[in-house]
Amino acid sequence: MTGHGEGADGLPRSVVVVGASHAAVQLADRLRLGGYTEPLTLIGDETHPPYHRPPLSKAWLKGESTPDQLVLRAAEHYSDNEIEMLLGTTVQRVERDGDGVALHLQRSDGFVETRTFDRLVLATGARARRSDIPGSDHPDVLVLRELDHAQRLADRVAAGPVVVIGGGFVGLEVAATLRGLDVAVTVVEAGRQLMGRAVGPGTAEFLLAAHREMGVDVILDAKPVEIALDGDRVRAVRLDDGREIAAATVLVGIGAEPRTELAEQLGLACDRGIVVDERCATSDGHILAIGDCTVQETGGAARVRLESVDNACTQADTAAATLLGREVPARPVPWFWSDQGSWKIQIAGRIDGHTEVVVRTDPSKPRRRVTLYFEDDQLLAAECVNAPADFVALRSALARGYRPSRELFADETVPLKKLLSAVRSA
Q: Which amino acid is present at 203?
A: T
Q: Pick one of 4, 152, 344, 350: the residue that binds other proteins (CB under 8 A).
A: 344
Q: Which amino acid is present at 68?
A: D
DSSP code of residue 215: T
Contact window for other proteins (CB under 8 A) among 63-71, 124-132, 173-181, 214-222: 63-71
d(CA 395, CA 411): 20
Count of Cβ atoms closer than 10 Å to residue 71 Cβ = 16
How large is the angle between the packed helices 201-213 and 169-180, nearest 10 degrees?
A: 20
Q: Is 127 helix (H, G, I), strand (E, B) or coil?
A: strand
107 lies in the binding site for other proteins (CB under 8 A): no
Contact window for other proteins (CB under 8 A) among 181-189, 229-237, 256-264, 334-342: 334-342
Length of the chain (residues): 426
Asked whether 258 and 172 are in contact (CB, 8 A), the reply is no
Instruction: Enumerate residues 69-88 that contact other proteins by CB under 8 A.
Output: 69, 71-74, 76-77, 81
Q: Pick one of 396, 402, 406, 412: the residue that binds other proteins (CB under 8 A).
A: 396
324 lies in the binding site for other proteins (CB under 8 A): no
272 lies in the binding site for other proteins (CB under 8 A): no
Q: Pick one of 5, 34, 54, 88: the residue that binds other proteins (CB under 8 A).
A: 54
Shortest Å, Cβ 95 to other proteins: 33
Q: Pick one of 214, 393, 398, 419: the residue that binds other proteins (CB under 8 A).
A: 393
339 lies in the binding site for other proteins (CB under 8 A): yes
Q: Pick one of 4, 52, 129, 331: the residue that binds other proteins (CB under 8 A).
A: 52
Asked whether 333 and 378 are in contact (CB, 8 A), the reply is no
Shortest Å, Cβ 200 to other proteins: 19
Q: Pick one of 239, 359, 399, 408: the residue that binds other proteins (CB under 8 A).
A: 399
Tell me whether residue 117 or residue 391 sits nearer to other proteins (CB atom): 391
Contact window for other proteins (CB under 8 A) among 68-76, 175-183, 252-260, 266-274: 68-76
Of the CA atoms within 13 Å of residue 122, those in its CB half-sphere come to: 36
Sign, CA dihedral 279-282-288-290, equals negative
Q: Pick one of 150, 252, 313, 385: the residue that binds other proteins (CB under 8 A).
A: 313
Nearest CA to 120 among 13, 259, 245, 229? Answer: 13
Strand 119-122 relative to strand 126-128, pairing: unpaired
310 lies in the binding site for other proteins (CB under 8 A): yes
DSSP code of residue 194: T
Longest dimension (CA), the chain: 69
Shortest Å, Cβ 392 to other proteins: 4
d(CA 230, CA 31): 54
Instruction: Enumerate residues 119-178 that contact other proteins by CB under 8 A.
Output: none
Shortest Å, Cβ 393 to other proteins: 4
Strand 233-239 relative to strand 244-246, pairing: antiparallel
55 lies in the binding site for other proteins (CB under 8 A): yes
CB within 8 Å of 364: residues ≥ 6 apart = none
Tell me whether residue 29 or residue 292 sits nearer to other proteins (CB atom): 29
Distances (CA, A) of 233 to 8, 162, 229, 237, 294: 63, 13, 6, 12, 38
Shortest Å, Cβ 67 to other proteins: 13
Q: Pick one of 184, 202, 228, 337: the residue that binds other proteins (CB under 8 A).
A: 337
d(CA 293, CA 291): 6
Tell me whether residue 328 or residue 399 sits nearer to other proteins (CB atom): 399
Number of residues located near other proteins, criterion CB under 8 A: 34
Tell me whether residue 139 or residue 401 sits nearer to other proteins (CB atom): 401
For residue 264, which phi and psi values (nearest 5 degrees)? -65, -40
284 lies in the binding site for other proteins (CB under 8 A): no
x-or-dash pattern for other proteins, window 363-392, by CB under 8 A? Answer: -------------------------xx-xx
Nearest CA to 169 among 412, 375, 339? Answer: 339
Torsion on CA atoms 62, 64, 67, 68, rounded to nearest 10: -170
Residues that bind other proteins (CB under 8 A): 29, 33, 52, 54-55, 58, 68-69, 71-74, 76-77, 81, 309-310, 313, 332, 335, 337, 339, 344, 346, 388-389, 391-393, 396, 399, 417, 420, 424
